[in-house]
A = this chain, B = another copy of it.
Amino acid sequence: MKRYKVLFQPDNVIVELDAGVDLLTGTRKANIEIKCSCGGEGTCGKCLVRVVSGAITSKGHSTRDGWSVACQTHVAGDIVVEIPVSSRVAQSQVLLDAHADVMTDVPDLPSSFSFDPLCKQITLQLIPPSIGDPTSDTSRLLLALKKAVGLNFVQLELEQTRTLAETLRKNDWCVDVTYAQLGDLNYIISIDDLNANGRLWGIAVDVGTTTVVVYLVDMLSGSVIGKAGTHNKQARFGDDVISRIIYADEETDGVGVLQQAIVDTINGLIAELVDKYHIDANDIRAVVAAGNTTMAHLLFGIDPRYIRLEPYVPAASRFPIVKAREIGLEVYPQAVVYNFPAVASYVGGDIVAGTLVNGMAEETPVTLFIDIGTNGEMVLGNKEWLVSCSCSAGPAFEGAGITNGMRAMQGAIERITIDKETYEVTFSTIGGARPQGICGSGLIDALAEMRAAGIIDRAGKIQDVPTPRVRKSDNGIEFVLSRSDDADLGRDIVITEADVKNLLRAKGAVFAGIRSLLRAVNMDMNDIERIYIAGGFGSYLNIPDAVQIGLLPDIGTAKYQFIGNTSVKGAYVALTASSAISAAEKLAERITYVELSAGNLFMEEFISAMFLPHTDLSLFPSVDS
């Protein structure tokens, strides 16, 4: 087969591709991260590139001045390709600086947990052996450790056994031992030279489909030393878990490639923190991760394929406790890695972590806990009962599948007001940068404002209002939010009628999920005593607007509380309060999973919720019809 050279600019990277291979594959090979919401299906239009010279074949999308979508453009000769900034995945620093509140402060430990870190260090001074006391080195160490900390340790690992004799003698029988308690099992993590480090770190990780956040924790004090976050490097293989699962399933070593991508993402964040705080990665001795079920599978290299096939069964809901080296995390090789257990395929360890730390499972008020991300996952209940579900909201609120949608990054339109008479638009962007697209909170604002101004009707149809902002295009009727001379996309930022329908489906799914859960326990909206909203998206959400469009219940803003990234908070709590791990395991058992695809209940609710705000206006007393 013929092979051609592809030069990517301005990166100046050349890769060789077989004839007919698409340019999205080329960018992956070149290690250039570009947007790809649809996973390379040719439907999202995010991977726009410009072919400067050379022969290509292109299907579907038309090309203009060489512009075309990378996933549908195939090499037919040596070519030069330019990748614009707007097609690239933005860098982590941007995300974090622009939205420092993703990194909300660590809460005090929930009252049910006290500081008792998952891994601890102790200095052991052993009595040296003598003719009268020739106990073996391993037994001497284990006996002294048992005496000092009151725990039984099953055994040393083979490698630890191999090195113990020298370590003990080199240090005159005085060593630092690091150990961990995980549920019923106790592990010896390391036996170190005395005072080799004096530091002991842990890492809490939120393994999000879109964003990955890491806390560096001082295990001696429990304080969070530093935080870092970035997009999940798996993003180039698709925006949502379904496209990742398909990639894992269909590509050669797809699971391996995705595992490497998430491990690289976490390692990158760890390296950033190691560098910033001048610590030794070898002193990181414990890692706790929380993520949805698919992310957990991929982190461990477990094939997630059955998650998307009926009856939606994950390979694992509890994950093996492994050593960092087993999955390639670049910390101390024997560091223990714990991952929060999942409830079901679509209610993962992130939700268990959130439920653990928000306290609802130990308290009396009936609480609704929602994480609106790619899926809308929610838990309803209190200390007596807990039910959960996941509604496939789709990634619309993360900007995917929306003509000018984007993640909450530098340049995303996040606030919009529309003048009800002139239909003129005022907006603000993240970081005050030139607008590049619209993020989730901006999309909710847009829907609410367009409805309030009469630009769309209750069914989401764009009305023939007297403004040039409403226009017809190749993609149907659209409303122009920002004109091309404002943007650097080379095109206007618009919301099409199709976008509105997508958003209605997303918001309808979430609301129908809430209604279905309530009906499963025979309750009404007004029985909900409080609503906790988690997730990066949650924090920027304008509650009144979200209620206006019928995304969230109309039960008064006073009942709402943003609780931030409870996934990483849960991981932090498990790192610093070791009883949290058995509590999490029990919690995962306690939460009853409601499968929405079983029966017609959800579908009926979904159809009723596809209007603005809903077919049943009595559910939204505060909303003008």
Contacts and interface: CB of A to CB of B under 8 A. Distances in A.
Interface in A305-341: 305-306, 310-322, 326-327
Contacts of A134: 311-313, 344-345, 593, 595
A314 B136 contact: yes
Given A300-B158, A326-B158, A164 B345 contact: no
A220 interface: no
Question: Chain A, interface size: which category?
Answer: 35 or more
A171 to B, nearest CB: 15
Contacts of A169: 306
B135 A303 contact: no
Interface in A126-166: 129-139, 154-158, 161-162, 164-166
B162 A302 contact: yes
Nearest to A152: B184
A135 B312 CA distance: 9
A306 B165 contact: yes
B597 A131 contact: yes
Interface in A358-388: none
A156 B320 contact: yes
B598 A303 contact: no
Contacts of A345: 134
A321 B157 CA distance: 9
Interface in A98-140: 129-139
A301 interface: yes
A185 B422 CA distance: 75
Interface of A: 129-139, 154-158, 161-162, 164-166, 169, 184-185, 300-303, 305-306, 310-322, 326-327, 342, 344-345, 593, 595, 597-598
Listed from nearest, the 10 A-B pairs whose CB atoms lie closest are A136-B317, A165-B315, A129-B313, A138-B316, A136-B314, A131-B311, A131-B598, A137-B315, A155-B320, A158-B320
Given A137-B314, A158-B320, 10 more contacts: A131-B310, A131-B312, A131-B597, A134-B312, A134-B344, A134-B593, A136-B317, A137-B313, A154-B185, A158-B326
